Structure 1
Amino acid sequence: MKEAAGPPTPEQIEDGRLLFAGECEFFFGSQKIDQLPPVGRPEVAFAGRSNVGKSSIINALTGRRALARASSEPGRTKQLNFFNLADRISLVDMPGYGFAKAAKSVKEDWQNMMFAYLRGRTTLARVILLLDARIEIKQSDRDVMDLLGRAAVVFQIVLTKCDQVRPTALKAKIAEVEAIALKQAAAYPRIVCTSSQTGEGIEDLRAEIARFADPVQTSGEGDVRP
C-alpha cells in the first residue's frame, strides 16, 4: 500500500516561489522524437486531455499571460514545447490527448511519440497529469496512466478548474482519483487541486516542481544567481 505524501513545507513553498520568480522562456519545439533538444536540465512535463486547462496552469505557474498558448482547435498542437525556467529546470508542454475528431492514425502517432519521449528521456523527473475536476475520468485518461506506467515514469495527478466544482462534489472527485492512483504503480500518491482563475493550488504545485530543479548556483564571491 502506498504511503500518502504530505503537503509541502513553508520552506518548500518558498523554494517554489523563488524558482518561478525567475525568467521562463520557450526555447525548443519538437514534432518528431529524433528532433528533441540535447539532454541537459531536469524536465517536468505536463500532460492532459485537450481543453483540460494545461496552458492556463502553465501560465499561472510562471506568472505569464501567454507563455503557453491554447489552441482554439482541440488537438491541433502536436509538438513538445520546451521552456527554460531560471536555467534550473525545463517545463515541457505535451500535446493534448483525447481529441474526438482526430483520425486513428493521428492518435497512434501521438501515443508512439509520447511513449518514446517518456521512456527514453533520462532527464525527465516527473509528469504532471492534469484532469478536469468537473468531468468524469475518461478512458483516454486511464490509457495515459497505463502508458506512463509502462514507461516507468512517475506522474502526479493535478485536478484543474476546482473553483467550478462544489465542495462535496470535489471531495468525491478527489476520493475517486486517489483510488485510481493507488492502483497505478507509477502514480505519486498526493493529488493537488488547482484553479488558474483563483490561484488555488498554484504555490503548492510550484513547490512540488521545485523539488526537481537544479540547485541555485553561487559565484566565488558568494553572490547567488538562479
Structure 2
Amino acid sequence: MRKQSIFKVPPFLNAMSAESLKSDPINTQFYPFNESIYYQIGKSFLNGSEVSSILSLSNTHKVMVDKSREIGTHVEFAVIGRSNCGKSSLINSLLGHKVAITSKTPGKTQQLITHTLKLDLPFKVSLVDAPGYGYADAPAAEMNKWRNFVEKYFEQSPNLLNTLLLIDSRRGIMDSDKILLEMLDDLKRMSTIVLTKADNLNATKLRDAMIKVAHDAAKFKRTFGLIFATSSKEHYGIEELQAYLSYSLLNNTGAYIKE
C-alpha cells in the first residue's frame, strides 16, 4: 500500500513559480503536454524500435558525420544518469520492450546506443542511451574518459533535441549530476529532469523530493522547471513522459540554442 500511495501525486510538477507549483495538472498553461493528442502519439512509442547506431571512442567522427546528413529529418532524445539510477528500466518502459541492458560492470561501458523508434512521422525519432556516470568505484581517470567521450556527443550531435537527466528520487541531485548539468549549460543544451524509482517513497516524500530537485535544477539556466517522477516497476509516470516527448517533438521544445 505504501508504494501504491505515489499514485496520489501527479507524476509531473512545474516549479518555475509559486503559481505554477500550485497549478492543477489540467492547466495547459503550465502543462501544455497534458492533452489527449500527445498521449495518443505517445502510445506509438510502443510500436517497436531498432538500434541504428552505436557510438564509441573509435568511431565518433564517422557516426557524427553520418548524423550530420540527417539534420531536419532525425530527432534525438538523450537519456543519461548516474550508474544504477534505473536508466535501462526507464528506457525499456518507454519503449514497451527490453532494448536496454544493464551493464554487469557499472560505470565501465563507453558507448552511446541509438534506438530509433518505429513511428508514423515524417522524420526519425530516437532515444540515445548514454553511459552511466558517478560509479563509486570508478577512478578519476575513468570519469575523465567518460566526460571526454560523452561531451563529444553533446557538443557535436546535430539532432539532439533534449536530454532526459535521470535522478534517483531517494538521493536528489548529487555533485556528479551538477557536473553534467554544468556541462550541458556550457554547451547550450536543454535538459529535463526525470526522477526514477519513485515507488521507494510515499506520496508526501515524493512531492517534497520533486520540489527540492526542481529548486536545485533552477540554478541551471537550460534545465526546464518541469520535473517528472517515474517508477518503471509500478508504471507510474511513463505515459506522461511519453506524452511530454511527443509534445516536444511536435513543438520543437528543447532545441539546440545558439547565441
1:36 Cα deviation (Å)?
2.2
Pairing of 1:4-43 with structure 2 (within 5 A): 5-6=30-31, 8-18=34-44, 20-32=45-57, 33-36=60-63, 38-39=66-67, 40=70, 41-43=74-76
Q: Which amino acid aligns with 1:93?
A: D
RMSD: 1.9
Gaps in structure 1 of 5+ consecutive residues:
216-226
Gaps in structure 2 of 5+ consecutive residues:
1-14, 21-29, 252-259
Could you give the per-residue CA deviations for residues 5-36 of structure 1, whole angstroms, max 9, x where no partner exists? 41521111111112x13221112211123242
Per the alignment, residue 76 of structure 1 pairs with 108
- 1:196 counterpart (222, 228, 232): 232
Q: What CA distance in whole angstroms lies between the structure 1 residues aligned with 2:214 and 2:118?
A: 32
Q: Does 1:46 align with 2:82?
A: no
- 1:207 counterpart (243, 246, 258): 243
Go from structure 1 to structure 2 and tell me whether the alpha carbon gap of 1:214 and 1:183 turns closer, same or farther (over 3 Å shift).
Answer: closer
Per the alignment, residue 86 of structure 1 pairs with 118
Q: Does 1:63 align with 2:89?
A: no
Q: What CA distance in whole angstroms lies between the structure 2 residues aligned with 1:168 and 1:150?
A: 35
Q: What CA distance in whole angstroms lies between the structure 1 residues aligned with 2:250 and 2:228?
A: 23
Task: Name the SS of the counterpart of 2:47 in structure 1.
Answer: coil
Q: Which amino acid aligns with 2:213?
A: V
Task: Name the SS of the counterpart of 2:144 in structure 1.
Answer: helix
Per the alignment, residue 161 of structure 1 pairs with 197
- 2:166 counterpart (130, 138, 149): 130
Q: What CA distance in whole angstroms lies between the structure 1 residues aligned with 2:140 and 2:62?
A: 23
Task: Name the SS of the counterpart of 2:227 in structure 1.
Answer: strand
Q: What CA distance in whole angstroms lies between the structure 2 residues aligned with 1:35 and 1:132?
A: 34
Pairing of 1:97-136 with structure 2 (within 5 A): 97-136=133-172
Could you give the per-residue CA deviations for residues 170-198 of structure 1, whole angstroms, max 9, x where no partner exists? 12111111101221111011101100011
Relative to the length of structure 2, the TM-score reads 0.77
Note if contact 2:16-2:226 (Cα within 8 Å) is conserved in structure 1.
Answer: no
Note if contact 1:42-1:214 (Cα within 8 Å) is conserved in structure 2.
Answer: no
Note if contact 1:89-1:214 (Cα within 8 Å) is conserved in structure 2.
Answer: no
How much identity, in percent, do the aligned residues show?
31
Note if contact 2:172-2:213 (Cα within 8 Å) is conserved in structure 1.
Answer: no
Per the alignment, residue 223 of structure 1 pairs with none
1:123 Cα deviation (Å)?
0.8
